[in-house]
Amino acid sequence: MANTPSNGKRPGFRISWFYIILVGALIWMFMSDSDGEPQKIEWAEVKELWQSGDVKEVTFVRNNFEGEMTIRPEKVGEYADRFEDGMPKQSPHFTFMVSGSFNAEEEFGRLNDSLLVNVPADQRDDAAVKVVVENRESWWSAIDWLIFPLLLILMWFFMFRGINRGANGGGPGGVFNVGKANGKLADKNSVNVTFKDVAGLYGAKEEVMEIVDFLKNPKKYTTLGGKIPKGALLVGPPGTGKTLLAKAVAGEANVPFFSISGSDFVEMFVGVGASRVRDLFRQAKEKAPCIVFIDEIDAVGRARSKNGGFSSNDERENTLNQLLTEMDGFGSNSGIIILAATNRADILDKALMRAGRFDRQIHVELPDLKERMEIINVHIRNLKVAEDFDVEFLAKHTPGFSGADIANVCNEAALTAARHDKKAIGKQDFLDAVDRIVGGLEKKSKIITPEEKKSIAYHEAGHATVSWLLPNAHPLFKVTIVPRGHALGAAWYLPEERQLVTRDHMYDEMCSLIGGRVAEEIVNGQPSTGALNDLERLTKMAYGMVTYYGMSDKVGNLSYYDSTGSRSYELQKPYSEKTAELIDSEVKALIEMIHDRTETILRENFDGFSQLAAILLEKEVIFADDLERIFGPKAGSKPGEEPAKDPEEIASEQTYE
């Protein structure tokens, strides 16, 4: 009698994983050919072989994104030296990979048309490359009924167990598609932006026009031995039109335009960013010539940390390394140009900025007076503007505004005019829009006591008086005691742009800043908390003069300014404690000197200063004309003189917070 277990069950037959792997390996060895394997090639080589006429057949496996290329029998011997292990006895001879967006019928049809241009009609059937597009099913299809429930279990595990939270788990580009680049492709027919749509930016447009010429006429440069630049970096403040300029380049060059944000590369999964970079460049190679635009590249191109264990991000650095490799990996004449935009060029990795990657930096600066006029004309094209509206007037009153700021002003002016049931947008609507954008919304309902209102009026009158009487202070435009945003009053300036600022200029500006606080001390006998913003700016300017610009006799011609930003991680200051005490004493002495000088100016002109405050209490808003009637022409001004250039920022002193 056979022995059986006590529980009555027969022992199950269990197959060891070792035997399964062994059997699989033997089957693979039996089915595989010992001869040479097909060689993997890039898409550029595919096109080169196709045009040579040596290709007999190309099979494209749609579901694997893989292509197989077979060489004509009479031409096989010419390619023997390319195979180290010998030529494959059977086709295919070459294989290549493409991206998921590859259109086989369109791309292969285009290559055949190019091949048969000079071939007689009766010979085209023999000369053309046979194209086969198919889907291949493997033996795994027999167990599809098992794969589907397994996938459901995996999806439940990832989605409800929180393993994939924060990584686009259930949406587009989620768990099963994380390595695919999600850049937007705008072909040459859909990009309708040209340089005509870009107002101003003369210097930047001149530089990028060369890039357009590179793409349109590459032989013009390559025949002389020159290499087309790999990339260009657009650098400038936010809202200056960097992205618009890149689109204009694509529209002018009439080539496909890939756009992607730097933050789209970085995910929580290791290796996803590098995979997306590879996929992006693979798509770009298929569409060459083309332009790849990476917006906010500082999200992935930040300088790699020198300290591996401190504030480092391995995934971001791996993505950057892959980007560096791709930018320096494809051919110099492949027709792919990389454009990138950032407003933080100082923090980018030096390897990214070297020649051969981003060959040139194009600075997109804030618009000057003439450029602002052109930008305003662009944005008011679709607005119902009053016939007597002066574009130059608005341009003069928006110094330091970017293109995006001007667009916001024009839109806000239209809303303001509609709010007052006007049929056309007038000059005052634009001025109100500027005030609202810079200063905030008027708060007429804010409760202010008569004593506070008087103190605010004298404070703002102090600013206006000092700035008007000093020759190097910014020209005053308007003074108001109407509350806006967090400020209870403001003095508005239209400053002149200066490329170089002298010590006298800074002295006058500092006197203008502290003018309100000194006025309160003269009238009320004590200061108030309203000068917080003024004191903050004054202190920063004083420390800048002493520590950055070397404008202190005792400290000397020294500058502790760090243009690289590397000192931000240092725990120690670049000077001794004795020097720190000297800097503090020099700053304090400088501010005391400015205070005394400002007090002298206000006391010598107390009558005009008091008259100006009285007008403010009555009208709540005064303009430069009122100051000219009281004090005469502004100090240092010449008859008919206008600022040659505009400032980097509009100076509006919002005091009384």
Task: Report, as residue numbers or ranges, the catalytic residues.
Answer: 460
Rounded Cα distance between 79 and 87, Å, is 8
Tell me, letter by letter, the H, E, C secondary structure of 214-234. HHHCCHHHHCCCCCCCCEEEE
Report DSSP state, residue 487. B
Q: What is the CA radius of gyration of the chain?
A: 35
The two three-digit tokens of residue 427, written as one number: 């000059």
Beta pairing, strands 336-342 & 231-235: parallel
Query: Phi, psi (5° rounding) for residue 100?
Result: -70, -20
Instruction: Count Cβ atoms within 10 A of the Cβ of residue 348 and give its class: 0-12 exposed, 13-18 middle, 19 or more buried.
Output: buried
At a CB cut-off of 8 Å and minimum separation 6, what does 114 contact?
A: 51
- In the chain, DSSP finds a helix count (H) and a strand count (E) of 22, 15
Least Cα distance to 217 among 333, 362, 339, 329 occurs for 333
Q: Look at the alpha carbons of 448, 451, 456, 461 in this order and tell me if their dihedral is positive or negative.
A: positive
Cis peptide before 92 (omega within 30 of 0): yes
Least Cα distance to 430 among 387, 390, 485, 378 occurs for 390
Instruction: Count Cβ atoms within 10 A of the Cβ of residue 437 and give its class: 0-12 exposed, 13-18 middle, 19 or more buried.
Output: middle
Using an 8 Å Cβ cutoff, are 96 and 60 in contact? no
Using an 8 Å Cβ cutoff, are 337 and 292 in contact? yes
Rounded Cα distance between 476 and 481, Å, is 15
Cα distances (Å, whole numbers) of residue 5 to 8, 15, 387, 492, 527: 5, 20, 104, 98, 99
Give strand ranges (E) for 399-458.
none
